[in-house]
């Protein structure tokens, strides 16, 4: 059953990632990007990485929801949402993808049949304790940087008529 869930999530992730690349509507591509990132989160959950699962959902899938919101709000016309996704350099990009895939295949082929002997252990409690104990200052600094970046994005997206 675990293998079926893993392969199903991998198929959903791959198909939705291909849809992101090949769909012409930017809004549909952004929605499929959210589905692809949700599939990755499901893969993390099936592998027992609970912190990565939660971070994937909160940061990346939530970020895609904001991306969709910005695309809808900042695009003036419906014609702005439909773009050509594949440019003139697709053949070079395909060659790079094939070479990277071949390199990854050669690297990970020797450990393809490896099975984990221990059951996955939750790590969220230890990470939370570390973030609230001796890593609290860096954690707060990162949140401050994110707030400054959000305010900067809002200021850069304004036009002269908004002021």
107 within some domain: no
At residue 162, does pLDDT exceed 60?
no
Q: Does the pTM exceed 0.85?
A: no
Cα separation, 79 vs 157, in Å, equals: 20
Query: Structure tokens of 136?
Result: 């609290």
Half-sphere exposure of 60 (CA within 13 A, CB side): 17
Shared-domain flag, residues 128 and 73: no
Same domain, 131 and 93: no
Query: How much of the chain is helix, strand and coil, in % rounded to 5?
Result: 80, 0, 20
Residue 109 lies in a domain: no
Residue 88 belongs to a domain:
yes
Task: Print the domain residue range for 157.
Answer: 123-163
pLDDT tens-digit readout, 96-152: 999 999 999 999 998 887 777 777 777 778 877 877 888 888 888 988 998 898 888
pLDDT in tens, 56-95: 998 888 887 777 777 766 765 655 556 565 667 878 888 9
Question: How many distinct structural domains can be found in the chain?
Answer: 2
For residue 3, the model assigns a pLDDT of 84
Is a pLDDT exceeding 90 seen at residue 13? yes
Q: Establish if 104 belongs to a structural domain.
A: no
Residue 163 CA to residue 158 CA, distance in Å, equals: 8
């Amino acid at each position: 059953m675990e293998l079926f869930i893993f392969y199903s999530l991998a198929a959903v992730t791959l198909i939705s990632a291909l849809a992101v690349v090949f769909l012409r509507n930017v809004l549909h591509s952004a929605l499929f990007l959210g589905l692809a990132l949700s599939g990755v989160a499901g893969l993390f959950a099936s592998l027992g990485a609970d912190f990565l699962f939660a971070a994937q959902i909160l940061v990346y899938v939530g970020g895609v929801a904001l991306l969709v919101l910005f695309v809808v709000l900042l695009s003036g016309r419906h014609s702005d949402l439909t773009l050509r996704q594949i440019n003139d350099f697709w053949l070079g990009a395909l060659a790079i993808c094939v070479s990277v895939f071949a390199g990854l295949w050669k690297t990970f082929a020797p450990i393809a049949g490896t099975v984990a002997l221990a059951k996955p252990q939750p790590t969220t409690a230890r990470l939370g304790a570390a973030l609230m104990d001796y890593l609290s200052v860096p954690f707060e600094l990162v949140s401050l940087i994110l707030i400054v970046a959000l305010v900067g994005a809002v200021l850069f997206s304004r036009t002269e008529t908004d002021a």
